[in-house]
Amino acid sequence: MSSQLKDLLAPDGTKEEGGTNRRAFLQRATLAGAVGAAGLGTLMALASPKAHGSGLVGHDEGEWDDSKKRDRNILIAAEIAEALAVTTYSNIIDTAPFFNRLPSDDQGYLIAARQEEMCHYLLEQSVTDEPSPFSSFFYPKGMFKDAQTTLNVLVTLEDAFIAAYLVGVRHFSTPDLRVTAARIMGIESDHRTLARVLASDVAPQDGGPIEKITGAQGVAESADPPNNNGYERTLCWAHIDQAVAALTPFADMTAAKAAGFDVSKSFGFSSFTPQLPNPLGDFISFKGC
């Protein structure tokens, strides 16, 4: 992990475990054609003092400080990842040759996903009062040009963030944070399935229809059916360090080179005012009521 990313994380006493360290994940990512994370969303809002009323009553000050540090580690990863997510969807929509040859409903999914990720980012920023510490990103070779690479990357990103949200469910210090993590994880699960829906609709001139997609686990899986999970995949991640390790090649040039990414060009994050497809799907409250 780059020293800059390490500096963003407050120590919380947790360690990477087992075979899911940075090197193991990057090895899987090489097979997949990408590593990464997209969509660690609205969790930032619960880092504010207003959110602390429901958590850790009766715990001593040191224990509360450790919990706040752990929450902060997860939330910092969230803001970086949302910026990455918006950048990814924006460039698929604006620059990928295959986008305009997709059916209109597929285009609509990609456009809506971009709006959703931007909503998440802005909610985070409203709490931190700071932009993402990273505002440009690198991608694997062929990203936005080759449809197979793009879908491999999309599914890898969604796989990674489903797993990262589950880390939040495991480790966040308050029930409201954990529920919010689960709520956003559900949206990323939608994105994963819909990304796989695109495979059969890719036009012949773009290499379609695409039969298999390789996600975070480095295994080429049939795109039929798109909803091929009985349970969400944890990737055996137990700590947020593992999600940050997955982000590093996207944000750091040295790590990008080591992962075989294309470092000849970086892609900048641009904020905008989003509009969700339906107001019933908007953020209501941290409790979700």
Residue 26's nearest CA partner among 282, 198, 253, 249 is 249
**The domain containing residue 116 runs over which residues?**
16-51+58-264
Specify if 164 maps to a domain: yes
Specify if 275 maps to a domain: no
Measured between alpha carbons, how far is 173 from 133 in angstroms, rounded to an integer? 24
- Choice between 225 and 62, residue whose per-residue pLDDT is larger: 225
What's the structural domain count of the chain? 1
118-129, pLDDT tens digit by residue? 988 887 777 667
Instruction: Categorize the per-residue pLDDT at 268 as very low, low, confident or very high, splitting at 50, 70 and 90.
Output: very high
Mean predicted confidence (pLDDT) in 28-37:
34
Report the pLDDT value the prediction gives residue 54, as an integer from 0 to 100. 37
- Is a pLDDT exceeding 70 seen at residue 279? yes
Residues whose CB falls within 8 Å of the CB of residue 58, separated by 6 or more in sequence, listed in order: none
Question: What percent helix, strand, coil does the chain show, rounded to 5?
Answer: 60, 5, 35
Instruction: Categorize the per-residue pLDDT at 65 as very low, low, confident or very high, splitting at 50, 70 and 90.
Output: confident
Give the distance from CA 204 to its chain's centroid.
29
Q: What is the DSSP letter of 211?
A: -
Average pLDDT, the chain: 80
131-141, pLDDT tens digit by residue? 888 899 999 99
- Is a pLDDT exceeding 50 seen at residue 24? no
Specify if 279 maps to a domain: no
Specify if 126 maps to a domain: yes
- Is a pLDDT exceeding 70 seen at residue 64? no
- Choice between 218 and 27, residue whose per-residue pLDDT is larger: 218
- Could you tell me the end-to-end alpha-carbon distance of the chain, in angstroms, rounded to an integer? 38
Specify if 270 maps to a domain: no
Specify if 145 maps to a domain: yes
Measured between alpha carbons, how far is 161 from 167 in angstroms, rounded to an integer? 9
Specify if 96 maps to a domain: yes
177-234, pLDDT tens digit by residue? 888 888 889 999 999 999 999 999 999 999 999 999 999 999 999 999 999 999 999 9
Exposed e or buried b per residue across 262-277, where buried means at least 16 C-beta atoms within 10 angstroms of its C-beta:
ebeebbebeeeebeee
Report the pLDDT value the prediction gives residue 107, as an integer from 0 to 100. 98
Specify if 24 maps to a domain: yes
